[in-house]
Structure 1
Amino acid sequence: MPIKTILVHLADDAHHTARLEVAVRLAKRHDAHITALFITFPVGMPPTVAGRGASAVFISAGRERARERAAALQKEFDGTCANEGVSHTWVVEDGRHLQALSYHAHVADLMIVSHSDEGEYLEDRFRLRLAEELVFDVGCPVLLLPRVKPVPSIGRHVLVGWHSNREAVRAVRGSLDLLRAAESVTVLTVGPTPEDKLSEHELVAYLARHGIRAEGANVEDRGGIGTTLLAEAKRRGSDLLVMGAYGHSRLRELVLGGATREVLRHAEIPVLTSH
Protein backbone atom coordinates (compact mmCIF):
# COMPACT_ATOMS: atom_id res chain seq x y z
CA MET A 1 0.00 0.00 0.00
CA PRO A 2 1.43 3.43 -0.92
CA ILE A 3 2.42 5.65 2.00
CA LYS A 4 0.84 9.03 1.28
CA THR A 5 -0.36 10.16 4.71
CA ILE A 6 1.79 9.79 7.83
CA LEU A 7 0.27 10.41 11.25
CA VAL A 8 2.84 11.29 13.91
CA HIS A 9 2.12 11.53 17.63
CA LEU A 10 3.77 14.83 18.56
CA ALA A 11 3.40 14.83 22.34
CA ASP A 12 5.35 16.96 24.80
CA ASP A 13 8.06 14.40 25.59
CA ALA A 14 11.79 13.95 25.16
CA HIS A 15 11.38 11.76 22.06
CA HIS A 16 9.06 13.91 19.93
CA THR A 17 12.00 15.25 17.90
CA ALA A 18 13.01 11.74 16.85
CA ARG A 19 9.44 10.98 15.72
CA LEU A 20 9.29 14.20 13.73
CA GLU A 21 12.67 13.55 12.09
CA VAL A 22 11.60 10.06 11.01
CA ALA A 23 8.23 11.33 9.75
CA VAL A 24 9.94 13.99 7.63
CA ARG A 25 12.50 11.50 6.33
CA LEU A 26 9.78 9.07 5.26
CA ALA A 27 7.54 11.81 3.86
CA LYS A 28 10.33 13.02 1.59
CA ARG A 29 11.15 9.46 0.51
CA HIS A 30 7.54 8.61 -0.36
CA ASP A 31 6.22 12.05 -1.32
CA ALA A 32 3.77 11.86 1.58
CA HIS A 33 1.79 14.31 3.73
CA ILE A 34 2.43 14.52 7.49
CA THR A 35 -0.36 15.05 10.00
CA ALA A 36 0.98 15.89 13.46
CA LEU A 37 -1.46 15.20 16.29
CA PHE A 38 -1.00 16.91 19.65
CA ILE A 39 -3.34 15.81 22.46
CA THR A 40 -3.86 18.05 25.47
CA PHE A 41 -5.36 15.39 27.77
CA PRO A 42 -2.70 14.02 30.20
CA VAL A 43 -1.50 10.50 29.40
CA GLY A 44 -2.10 9.54 33.03
CA MET A 45 -2.02 10.78 36.59
CA PRO A 46 0.86 10.21 39.00
CA PRO A 47 0.22 7.98 42.03
CA THR A 48 0.22 11.04 44.33
CA VAL A 49 -3.00 12.38 42.75
CA ALA A 50 -6.04 10.89 44.47
CA GLY A 51 -9.72 11.78 44.67
CA ARG A 52 -12.18 13.15 42.11
CA GLY A 53 -11.48 16.82 42.93
CA ALA A 54 -7.72 16.42 42.80
CA SER A 55 -8.00 14.51 39.53
CA ALA A 56 -10.10 17.26 37.94
CA VAL A 57 -7.61 19.93 39.04
CA PHE A 58 -4.70 17.88 37.72
CA ILE A 59 -6.37 17.32 34.33
CA SER A 60 -7.35 20.99 33.99
CA ALA A 61 -3.86 22.22 34.87
CA GLY A 62 -2.30 19.61 32.59
CA ARG A 63 -4.44 20.69 29.66
CA GLU A 64 -3.51 24.33 30.17
CA ARG A 65 0.20 23.53 30.24
CA ALA A 66 -0.25 21.32 27.17
CA ARG A 67 -1.91 24.12 25.18
CA GLU A 68 1.03 26.41 25.97
CA ARG A 69 3.48 23.74 24.90
CA ALA A 70 1.43 23.00 21.77
CA ALA A 71 2.08 26.50 20.45
CA ALA A 72 5.85 26.01 20.70
CA LEU A 73 5.69 22.54 19.16
CA GLN A 74 3.59 23.81 16.27
CA LYS A 75 6.26 26.38 15.42
CA GLU A 76 8.90 23.63 15.50
CA PHE A 77 6.75 21.32 13.37
CA ASP A 78 5.72 23.95 10.81
CA GLY A 79 9.26 25.26 10.53
CA THR A 80 10.81 21.81 10.07
CA CYS A 81 8.29 20.73 7.41
CA ALA A 82 8.51 24.06 5.56
CA ASN A 83 12.32 23.89 5.48
CA GLU A 84 12.17 20.34 4.12
CA GLY A 85 9.42 21.12 1.61
CA VAL A 86 7.00 18.58 3.13
CA SER A 87 3.21 18.93 2.97
CA HIS A 88 1.86 19.02 6.53
CA THR A 89 -1.10 19.61 8.84
CA TRP A 90 -1.13 20.44 12.56
CA VAL A 91 -4.02 19.11 14.66
CA VAL A 92 -4.77 19.64 18.37
CA GLU A 93 -7.26 17.36 20.12
CA ASP A 94 -8.63 17.55 23.66
CA GLY A 95 -9.67 13.89 24.02
CA ARG A 96 -7.90 10.84 25.34
CA HIS A 97 -4.79 9.67 23.51
CA LEU A 98 -5.87 6.21 22.40
CA GLN A 99 -9.23 7.36 21.05
CA ALA A 100 -7.84 10.46 19.32
CA LEU A 101 -4.96 8.65 17.66
CA SER A 102 -7.20 5.78 16.55
CA TYR A 103 -9.70 8.24 15.09
CA HIS A 104 -7.14 10.11 12.99
CA ALA A 105 -5.53 6.84 11.91
CA HIS A 106 -8.64 6.18 9.83
CA VAL A 107 -7.22 8.56 7.21
CA ALA A 108 -3.54 7.65 7.53
CA ASP A 109 -1.36 5.03 5.85
CA LEU A 110 1.20 4.89 8.66
CA MET A 111 1.31 6.01 12.29
CA ILE A 112 4.56 6.87 14.08
CA VAL A 113 4.84 6.58 17.87
CA SER A 114 7.59 5.79 20.37
CA HIS A 115 7.96 2.58 22.32
CA SER A 116 6.32 2.68 25.73
CA ASP A 117 8.40 3.60 28.77
CA GLU A 118 8.30 1.08 31.61
CA GLY A 119 8.12 3.96 34.10
CA GLU A 120 9.30 4.23 37.68
CA TYR A 121 6.09 3.06 39.35
CA LEU A 122 3.91 0.01 38.80
CA GLU A 123 1.08 2.35 37.81
CA ASP A 124 3.24 3.77 35.04
CA ARG A 125 3.55 0.36 33.42
CA PHE A 126 -0.20 0.32 32.85
CA ARG A 127 -0.94 3.96 32.01
CA LEU A 128 2.02 4.32 29.61
CA ARG A 129 1.25 1.28 27.43
CA LEU A 130 -0.15 3.58 24.76
CA ALA A 131 2.04 2.23 21.95
CA GLU A 132 1.11 -1.38 22.67
CA GLU A 133 -2.60 -0.58 22.85
CA LEU A 134 -2.50 1.43 19.62
CA VAL A 135 -1.16 -1.52 17.66
CA PHE A 136 -4.35 -3.43 18.46
CA ASP A 137 -6.76 -0.53 18.06
CA VAL A 138 -5.85 1.37 14.89
CA GLY A 139 -6.59 0.44 11.30
CA CYS A 140 -3.20 1.28 9.80
CA PRO A 141 0.35 -0.03 10.32
CA VAL A 142 2.14 1.39 13.35
CA LEU A 143 5.82 2.30 13.27
CA LEU A 144 7.26 2.09 16.78
CA LEU A 145 10.52 3.93 17.29
CA PRO A 146 13.09 3.00 19.94
CA ARG A 147 13.54 5.54 22.70
CA VAL A 148 16.87 6.82 21.36
CA LYS A 149 17.71 10.20 19.84
CA PRO A 150 18.17 10.43 16.94
CA VAL A 151 17.09 7.26 15.11
CA PRO A 152 20.21 6.61 12.93
CA SER A 153 18.53 5.05 9.89
CA ILE A 154 15.33 3.29 9.00
CA GLY A 155 14.25 0.98 6.20
CA ARG A 156 17.55 0.41 4.42
CA HIS A 157 18.00 -3.16 5.65
CA VAL A 158 14.65 -4.71 6.55
CA LEU A 159 13.98 -7.95 8.38
CA VAL A 160 10.47 -9.40 7.94
CA GLY A 161 9.38 -11.80 10.65
CA TRP A 162 7.09 -14.19 8.77
CA HIS A 163 4.50 -16.49 10.33
CA SER A 164 1.89 -16.83 7.54
CA ASN A 165 -1.14 -15.60 9.44
CA ARG A 166 -3.47 -12.60 9.20
CA GLU A 167 -1.38 -10.31 11.40
CA ALA A 168 1.84 -10.97 9.49
CA VAL A 169 0.07 -10.54 6.14
CA ARG A 170 -1.35 -7.16 7.22
CA ALA A 171 2.09 -6.02 8.37
CA VAL A 172 3.73 -7.04 5.09
CA ARG A 173 1.05 -5.44 2.91
CA GLY A 174 1.24 -2.26 4.97
CA SER A 175 5.00 -2.09 4.47
CA LEU A 176 5.25 -2.74 0.71
CA ASP A 177 6.32 0.84 -0.05
CA LEU A 178 9.04 0.65 2.61
CA LEU A 179 10.21 -2.75 1.35
CA ARG A 180 10.34 -1.47 -2.22
CA ALA A 181 12.62 1.38 -1.17
CA ALA A 182 14.95 -0.82 0.92
CA GLU A 183 18.46 -1.83 -0.10
CA SER A 184 17.97 -5.34 1.26
CA VAL A 185 15.00 -7.35 2.52
CA THR A 186 15.20 -10.64 4.41
CA VAL A 187 12.13 -12.78 5.09
CA LEU A 188 12.84 -14.79 8.22
CA THR A 189 10.99 -17.75 9.70
CA VAL A 190 11.81 -19.27 13.07
CA GLY A 191 11.68 -23.05 13.41
CA PRO A 192 10.07 -25.51 10.99
CA THR A 193 7.14 -24.32 8.87
CA PRO A 194 3.87 -26.07 9.83
CA GLU A 195 2.07 -27.92 7.03
CA ASP A 196 -0.83 -25.45 7.05
CA LYS A 197 1.44 -22.38 6.74
CA LEU A 198 3.30 -20.80 3.83
CA SER A 199 7.08 -20.75 4.08
CA GLU A 200 9.40 -17.79 3.67
CA HIS A 201 9.95 -18.81 0.03
CA GLU A 202 6.30 -18.21 -0.88
CA LEU A 203 6.48 -14.71 0.58
CA VAL A 204 9.74 -14.01 -1.27
CA ALA A 205 7.98 -14.95 -4.53
CA TYR A 206 4.99 -12.75 -3.64
CA LEU A 207 7.28 -9.78 -2.96
CA ALA A 208 9.12 -10.35 -6.26
CA ARG A 209 5.83 -9.86 -8.11
CA HIS A 210 5.62 -6.46 -6.41
CA GLY A 211 9.08 -5.55 -7.65
CA ILE A 212 10.74 -6.24 -4.30
CA ARG A 213 13.89 -8.35 -4.24
CA ALA A 214 14.13 -10.34 -1.02
CA GLU A 215 15.92 -13.39 0.32
CA GLY A 216 14.42 -16.06 2.54
CA ALA A 217 16.03 -17.48 5.65
CA ASN A 218 15.08 -19.93 8.37
CA VAL A 219 16.69 -20.16 11.80
CA GLU A 220 16.25 -22.30 14.87
CA ASP A 221 14.25 -21.01 17.81
CA ARG A 222 16.75 -19.66 20.31
CA GLY A 223 14.82 -18.83 23.46
CA GLY A 224 11.53 -17.77 21.89
CA ILE A 225 10.46 -16.26 18.59
CA GLY A 226 10.65 -12.66 19.79
CA THR A 227 14.13 -13.14 21.26
CA THR A 228 15.28 -14.89 18.08
CA LEU A 229 13.93 -12.13 15.81
CA LEU A 230 15.68 -9.42 17.83
CA ALA A 231 18.94 -11.37 17.86
CA GLU A 232 18.79 -11.93 14.10
CA ALA A 233 17.96 -8.28 13.45
CA LYS A 234 21.04 -7.26 15.43
CA ARG A 235 23.27 -9.88 13.79
CA ARG A 236 22.19 -8.85 10.29
CA GLY A 237 22.45 -5.10 10.92
CA SER A 238 18.74 -4.57 10.23
CA ASP A 239 17.35 -1.08 10.81
CA LEU A 240 13.66 -2.06 10.57
CA LEU A 241 11.73 -5.12 11.74
CA VAL A 242 8.37 -5.87 10.12
CA MET A 243 6.11 -8.29 11.97
CA GLY A 244 2.51 -9.00 12.88
CA ALA A 245 1.26 -8.14 16.37
CA TYR A 246 -0.39 -11.07 18.12
CA GLY A 247 -2.68 -10.79 21.10
CA HIS A 248 -6.17 -9.80 22.17
CA SER A 249 -8.10 -7.69 24.62
CA ARG A 250 -9.69 -9.56 27.52
CA LEU A 251 -11.98 -7.62 29.87
CA ARG A 252 -10.17 -4.39 28.87
CA GLU A 253 -6.81 -5.94 29.68
CA LEU A 254 -4.32 -6.10 26.84
CA VAL A 255 -2.94 -9.62 26.54
CA LEU A 256 0.08 -9.77 24.23
CA GLY A 257 1.47 -12.86 22.58
CA GLY A 258 4.93 -13.84 23.80
CA ALA A 259 6.81 -12.82 20.63
CA THR A 260 4.93 -9.52 20.37
CA ARG A 261 5.55 -8.67 24.01
CA GLU A 262 9.25 -9.44 23.74
CA VAL A 263 9.74 -7.34 20.58
CA LEU A 264 7.61 -4.35 21.58
CA ARG A 265 9.33 -4.02 24.94
CA HIS A 266 12.94 -4.76 24.02
CA ALA A 267 13.50 -3.75 20.38
CA GLU A 268 16.42 -1.41 19.81
CA ILE A 269 15.45 -0.71 16.20
CA PRO A 270 12.21 0.61 14.65
CA VAL A 271 9.40 -1.96 14.40
CA LEU A 272 6.57 -1.78 11.89
CA THR A 273 3.66 -3.88 13.04
CA SER A 274 -0.02 -4.42 12.42
CA HIS A 275 -2.86 -6.40 13.93
Structure 2
Amino acid sequence: MAIRTVLLHASADSGFNDRLSFAVAFARQFGASVTALYTLYPTGVPRVGRALSIYVNELVREAKEKEAPLKARFDEALAAAGVSGAWERIEGDVASALRDAVTFADVTVVSETRYGTVDDELAATLPEHLALASNGPVIVVPTGKPVPARIGRVVVAWKPSREAGHAVRFALPVLAGADAVEVLTIAEGSEKAAASGARLTAYLASHGVKATHKHLSEVNAAAGIVAEVDAFGANLLVLGAYSRSRLAELVLGGVTASLLDNPPVPLLIAH
Protein backbone atom coordinates (compact mmCIF):
# COMPACT_ATOMS: atom_id res chain seq x y z
CA MET A 1 0.00 0.00 0.00
CA ALA A 2 1.34 3.43 -0.93
CA ILE A 3 1.38 6.35 1.48
CA ARG A 4 -1.05 8.98 0.26
CA THR A 5 -2.26 10.84 3.38
CA VAL A 6 -0.17 12.21 6.26
CA LEU A 7 -2.14 13.44 9.28
CA LEU A 8 -0.40 16.18 11.27
CA HIS A 9 -1.24 17.22 14.82
CA ALA A 10 -1.38 21.03 14.68
CA SER A 11 -1.04 23.00 17.91
CA ALA A 12 1.10 25.77 19.41
CA ASP A 13 3.38 23.48 21.42
CA SER A 14 7.16 23.68 21.05
CA GLY A 15 7.30 20.62 18.78
CA PHE A 16 5.10 22.04 15.99
CA ASN A 17 7.87 23.40 13.75
CA ASP A 18 9.86 20.16 13.90
CA ARG A 19 6.93 17.87 13.18
CA LEU A 20 5.66 20.19 10.43
CA SER A 21 9.08 20.02 8.76
CA PHE A 22 9.09 16.24 9.12
CA ALA A 23 5.53 15.77 7.83
CA VAL A 24 6.14 17.95 4.76
CA ALA A 25 9.46 16.25 3.90
CA PHE A 26 7.91 12.82 4.45
CA ALA A 27 4.93 13.66 2.25
CA ARG A 28 7.20 15.00 -0.50
CA GLN A 29 9.32 11.84 -0.44
CA PHE A 30 6.35 9.48 -0.70
CA GLY A 31 4.05 11.55 -2.90
CA ALA A 32 1.46 12.19 -0.20
CA SER A 33 -0.66 15.11 0.95
CA VAL A 34 -0.72 16.56 4.48
CA THR A 35 -3.87 17.17 6.51
CA ALA A 36 -3.31 19.32 9.60
CA LEU A 37 -5.82 18.81 12.40
CA TYR A 38 -6.19 21.78 14.76
CA THR A 39 -8.43 21.44 17.79
CA LEU A 40 -9.73 24.09 20.14
CA TYR A 41 -10.67 22.04 23.18
CA PRO A 42 -7.75 20.75 25.30
CA THR A 43 -7.43 17.08 26.06
CA GLY A 44 -7.71 15.71 29.58
CA VAL A 45 -9.54 18.72 31.04
CA PRO A 46 -13.11 17.94 32.16
CA ARG A 47 -15.91 20.49 31.95
CA VAL A 48 -16.78 20.19 35.62
CA GLY A 49 -17.34 23.13 37.94
CA ARG A 50 -17.31 26.84 37.27
CA ALA A 51 -13.57 27.29 37.84
CA LEU A 52 -12.69 24.57 35.34
CA SER A 53 -15.17 25.96 32.82
CA ILE A 54 -13.55 29.36 33.07
CA TYR A 55 -10.10 27.80 32.61
CA VAL A 56 -11.22 25.77 29.60
CA ASN A 57 -12.90 28.79 28.01
CA GLU A 58 -9.65 30.72 28.38
CA LEU A 59 -7.68 27.91 26.72
CA VAL A 60 -10.17 27.81 23.84
CA ARG A 61 -9.92 31.59 23.41
CA GLU A 62 -6.12 31.34 23.30
CA ALA A 63 -6.31 28.47 20.80
CA LYS A 64 -8.39 30.61 18.45
CA GLU A 65 -5.84 33.43 18.69
CA LYS A 66 -2.91 31.10 17.97
CA GLU A 67 -4.47 29.40 14.96
CA ALA A 68 -3.83 32.00 12.25
CA PRO A 69 -0.01 32.17 12.53
CA LEU A 70 0.22 28.37 12.74
CA LYS A 71 -1.90 27.96 9.62
CA ALA A 72 0.22 30.54 7.80
CA ARG A 73 3.35 28.56 8.71
CA PHE A 74 1.67 25.37 7.49
CA ASP A 75 0.63 26.94 4.17
CA GLU A 76 4.13 28.38 3.60
CA ALA A 77 5.83 25.05 4.29
CA LEU A 78 3.57 23.17 1.89
CA ALA A 79 3.97 25.78 -0.85
CA ALA A 80 7.77 25.78 -0.52
CA ALA A 81 7.90 21.98 -0.82
CA GLY A 82 5.28 21.67 -3.56
CA VAL A 83 3.12 19.45 -1.36
CA SER A 84 -0.68 19.58 -1.31
CA GLY A 85 -2.65 19.65 1.91
CA ALA A 86 -5.52 20.99 3.96
CA TRP A 87 -6.05 22.60 7.36
CA GLU A 88 -8.97 21.39 9.44
CA ARG A 89 -10.26 22.95 12.65
CA ILE A 90 -12.14 20.68 15.06
CA GLU A 91 -14.15 21.95 18.01
CA GLY A 92 -13.71 18.76 20.01
CA ASP A 93 -11.02 17.20 22.19
CA VAL A 94 -7.65 16.76 20.45
CA ALA A 95 -7.08 13.18 21.58
CA SER A 96 -10.51 12.02 20.43
CA ALA A 97 -10.32 13.95 17.16
CA LEU A 98 -6.91 12.56 16.26
CA ARG A 99 -7.88 9.02 17.29
CA ASP A 100 -10.88 9.16 14.96
CA ALA A 101 -8.90 10.73 12.10
CA VAL A 102 -6.08 8.14 12.26
CA THR A 103 -8.44 5.60 10.69
CA PHE A 104 -8.52 7.64 7.49
CA ALA A 105 -4.80 8.48 7.24
CA ASP A 106 -1.83 6.36 6.23
CA VAL A 107 0.39 7.76 8.97
CA THR A 108 -0.05 10.29 11.80
CA VAL A 109 2.70 12.68 12.92
CA VAL A 110 2.88 13.89 16.53
CA SER A 111 5.70 15.11 18.79
CA GLU A 112 7.54 14.22 21.94
CA THR A 113 7.33 17.42 23.99
CA ARG A 114 9.14 18.08 27.26
CA TYR A 115 9.58 21.83 27.48
CA GLY A 116 6.93 22.71 30.04
CA THR A 117 4.64 25.30 28.43
CA VAL A 118 0.89 24.83 28.81
CA ASP A 119 0.64 23.72 25.17
CA ASP A 120 3.50 21.26 25.70
CA GLU A 121 1.83 19.75 28.75
CA LEU A 122 -1.46 19.36 26.89
CA ALA A 123 0.29 17.58 24.00
CA ALA A 124 2.65 15.44 26.08
CA THR A 125 0.39 12.38 26.38
CA LEU A 126 -0.61 12.21 22.71
CA PRO A 127 2.12 9.84 21.44
CA GLU A 128 1.36 7.22 24.08
CA HIS A 129 -2.41 7.68 23.80
CA LEU A 130 -2.50 7.35 20.02
CA ALA A 131 -0.12 4.40 19.97
CA LEU A 132 -2.37 2.49 22.36
CA ALA A 133 -5.79 3.62 21.15
CA SER A 134 -5.42 3.98 17.37
CA ASN A 135 -5.63 1.48 14.53
CA GLY A 136 -2.89 3.06 12.46
CA PRO A 137 0.82 3.89 12.63
CA VAL A 138 2.06 6.94 14.53
CA ILE A 139 5.34 8.73 13.93
CA VAL A 140 6.71 10.49 17.01
CA VAL A 141 9.09 13.32 16.10
CA PRO A 142 11.62 14.41 18.74
CA THR A 143 11.54 18.08 19.65
CA GLY A 144 14.73 20.06 19.24
CA LYS A 145 16.68 17.41 17.28
CA PRO A 146 17.66 17.45 13.58
CA VAL A 147 14.72 16.72 11.27
CA PRO A 148 15.65 14.37 8.40
CA ALA A 149 15.13 15.79 4.92
CA ARG A 150 14.21 12.27 3.78
CA ILE A 151 13.98 8.76 5.21
CA GLY A 152 17.12 7.06 3.89
CA ARG A 153 18.27 4.70 6.64
CA VAL A 154 15.88 2.78 8.91
CA VAL A 155 16.39 0.52 11.90
CA VAL A 156 13.61 -1.98 12.72
CA ALA A 157 13.75 -2.93 16.41
CA TRP A 158 12.34 -6.44 16.09
CA LYS A 159 10.98 -9.04 18.45
CA PRO A 160 8.44 -11.76 17.61
CA SER A 161 5.41 -9.93 19.02
CA ARG A 162 2.04 -8.87 17.62
CA GLU A 163 2.88 -5.19 18.14
CA ALA A 164 6.19 -5.42 16.28
CA GLY A 165 4.45 -7.27 13.45
CA HIS A 166 1.86 -4.51 13.12
CA ALA A 167 4.56 -1.84 13.06
CA VAL A 168 6.52 -3.58 10.32
CA ARG A 169 3.46 -4.10 8.12
CA PHE A 170 2.46 -0.45 8.47
CA ALA A 171 6.05 0.57 7.69
CA LEU A 172 6.46 -1.53 4.52
CA PRO A 173 6.03 1.40 2.08
CA VAL A 174 8.63 3.38 4.05
CA LEU A 175 11.05 0.45 4.19
CA ALA A 176 10.66 -0.13 0.46
CA GLY A 177 11.57 3.50 -0.22
CA ALA A 178 14.59 3.59 2.08
CA ASP A 179 18.20 3.31 0.97
CA ALA A 180 19.22 0.93 3.76
CA VAL A 181 17.28 -1.07 6.37
CA GLU A 182 18.63 -2.95 9.37
CA VAL A 183 16.61 -5.49 11.36
CA LEU A 184 17.91 -5.32 14.93
CA THR A 185 17.24 -8.09 17.44
CA ILE A 186 18.36 -8.26 21.06
CA ALA A 187 18.63 -11.50 23.00
CA GLU A 188 16.98 -10.37 26.28
CA GLY A 189 17.64 -13.82 27.74
CA SER A 190 16.48 -15.80 24.71
CA GLU A 191 18.09 -16.67 21.40
CA LYS A 192 14.71 -17.04 19.66
CA ALA A 193 14.88 -13.38 18.67
CA ALA A 194 17.86 -14.01 16.40
CA ALA A 195 16.08 -16.69 14.37
CA SER A 196 12.97 -14.52 14.14
CA GLY A 197 15.05 -11.57 12.92
CA ALA A 198 16.51 -13.71 10.15
CA ARG A 199 13.02 -14.74 9.10
CA LEU A 200 11.85 -11.12 9.07
CA THR A 201 14.80 -10.15 6.89
CA ALA A 202 13.78 -12.82 4.37
CA TYR A 203 10.14 -11.68 4.56
CA LEU A 204 11.17 -8.10 3.82
CA ALA A 205 13.20 -9.31 0.83
CA SER A 206 10.01 -10.81 -0.61
CA HIS A 207 8.62 -7.25 -0.60
CA GLY A 208 11.68 -5.83 -2.34
CA VAL A 209 13.26 -4.49 0.86
CA LYS A 210 17.00 -5.17 0.99
CA ALA A 211 17.54 -5.44 4.72
CA THR A 212 20.43 -6.70 6.80
CA HIS A 213 20.12 -8.37 10.20
CA LYS A 214 22.10 -7.60 13.34
CA HIS A 215 21.73 -9.45 16.63
CA LEU A 216 22.97 -8.19 20.01
CA SER A 217 23.48 -10.27 23.13
CA GLU A 218 23.98 -9.27 26.75
CA VAL A 219 22.86 -5.67 26.34
CA ASN A 220 20.08 -3.52 27.76
CA ALA A 221 17.42 -3.36 25.06
CA ALA A 222 16.70 0.37 25.13
CA ALA A 223 20.37 1.34 25.36
CA GLY A 224 21.28 -1.15 22.63
CA ILE A 225 18.65 0.25 20.27
CA VAL A 226 19.75 3.84 20.81
CA ALA A 227 23.42 2.93 20.27
CA GLU A 228 22.63 1.02 17.07
CA VAL A 229 20.45 3.81 15.69
CA ASP A 230 23.44 6.11 16.08
CA ALA A 231 25.95 3.61 14.67
CA PHE A 232 23.78 2.83 11.64
CA GLY A 233 23.06 6.51 10.99
CA ALA A 234 19.32 5.85 11.00
CA ASN A 235 16.81 8.65 10.56
CA LEU A 236 13.80 6.49 11.45
CA LEU A 237 13.24 3.75 14.04
CA VAL A 238 10.38 1.26 13.61
CA LEU A 239 9.10 -0.64 16.65
CA GLY A 240 6.04 -2.15 18.25
CA ALA A 241 4.65 -0.18 21.18
CA TYR A 242 4.06 -1.80 24.57
CA SER A 243 4.49 -5.49 23.82
CA ARG A 244 3.98 -6.01 27.55
CA SER A 245 1.41 -4.09 29.57
CA ARG A 246 1.76 -0.34 29.92
CA LEU A 247 1.55 -0.71 33.71
CA ALA A 248 4.48 -3.14 33.69
CA GLU A 249 6.53 -0.70 31.64
CA LEU A 250 5.70 2.19 33.96
CA VAL A 251 6.56 0.18 37.07
CA LEU A 252 9.51 -1.86 35.81
CA GLY A 253 10.72 0.36 33.01
CA GLY A 254 10.63 -0.68 29.37
CA VAL A 255 11.78 -0.02 25.84
CA THR A 256 8.65 1.82 24.68
CA ALA A 257 8.47 4.11 27.69
CA SER A 258 12.18 4.90 27.47
CA LEU A 259 12.14 5.68 23.75
CA LEU A 260 8.96 7.75 23.92
CA ASP A 261 10.49 9.81 26.71
CA ASN A 262 13.58 10.63 24.66
CA PRO A 263 13.44 9.44 21.03
CA PRO A 264 16.87 9.32 19.37
CA VAL A 265 15.23 9.84 15.94
CA PRO A 266 11.61 9.86 14.73
CA LEU A 267 9.82 6.69 15.84
CA LEU A 268 7.27 4.83 13.73
CA ILE A 269 5.24 2.90 16.31
CA ALA A 270 2.11 0.75 16.41
CA HIS A 271 0.37 -1.28 19.08
- TM norm structure 2: 0.88
Runs of 4+, deviation exceeding 4 Å: 118-121, 124-127, 247-250, 253-257
Is the 8 Å Cα contact of residues 164 and 198 (structure 1) preserved in structure 2? no
Structure 1 contact 161–229 (Cα < 8 Å) conserved: yes
The offset of 1:38, in angstroms, is: 0.7
2:233 aligns with 237
In the TM superposition, what whole-angstrom CA distance separates every residue of 1:180-228 from its partner, at most 9, and x where no partner exists?
A: 1211100011014338x952111111111111100011001422x2222
Q: Per the alignment, in what secondary structure is the counterpart of residue 17 of structure 2?
A: helix
Q: 1:198 to 1:92 in 2, by over 3 A?
A: farther
Following the alignment from structure 1 to structure 2, what is the Cα–Cα distance between the partners of residues 125 and 84? 30
Structure-2 separation of matches of 1:103 and 1:255: 30
Give 3-state SS (helix, strand or coil) of 1:28's partner. helix
Partner residue, 1:48? none
Which of the residues 221, 226, 246 maps onto 2:222? Answer: 226
Q: 1:6 to 1:259 in 2, by over 3 A?
A: same
Contact 1:171 1:274 in 2 (8 A): yes
1:131-170 matched pairs, under 5 angstroms: 131-148=127-144, 150-170=146-166
Task: Tell me the distance in 2 between the aligned counterparts of 1:74 and 1:256.
Answer: 41
Residues in 2 aligned to 1:245 and 1:33: alpha-carbon distance in whole angstroms: 26
Within 5 Å, give how 1:36-185 maps onto structure 2.
36-43=36-43, 52-117=49-114, 119=116, 128-148=124-144, 150-185=146-181
Q: Deviations over 1:97-153 (max 9, x none)?
A: 2111101111001000001427499xx989832211111111111000111155144
Shift of 1:156: 1.3
Structure 1: runs of 5 or more not aligned = 46-50
Note if contact 1:241-1:271 (Cα within 8 Å) is conserved in structure 2: yes
1-side partners of 2:157 and 2:93: how far apart?
32
User: Is the CA contact (8 Å cut-off) linking 2:107 and 2:138 kept in structure 1?
Assistant: yes
Report the alpha carbon displacement of residue 55 of structure 1 after superposing the two structures with TM.
1.2
Segment drifting more, 76-85 vs 142-151:
76-85
**Matched residues in 1 for 2:39 and 2:251: separation?**
26
Q: Match of 2:24?
A: 24
Secondary structure of the structure 2 residue equivalent to 1:95: strand
Distance 1:248 1:106 in 2: 23
Distance apart, 1:6 and its partner CA: 0.4
Bigger mean CA deviation after superposition, 237-246 or 124-133? 124-133
Provide the C-alpha distance between the structure 1 equivalents of 2:202 and 2:211, rounded to a whole number of angstroms: 8
**Partner of residue 2, structure 1:** 2
Identify if the C-alpha distance between structure 1 residues 209 and 257 changes in structure 2 by more than 3 Å, giving closer, same or farther.
farther
Q: Distance in 2 between matches of 1:238 and 1:127?
A: 26
The aligned length equals 264
For the residue of structure 1 that corresponds to 2:6, the secondary structure is: strand
Quote the offset at 1:268 in angstroms. 2.0
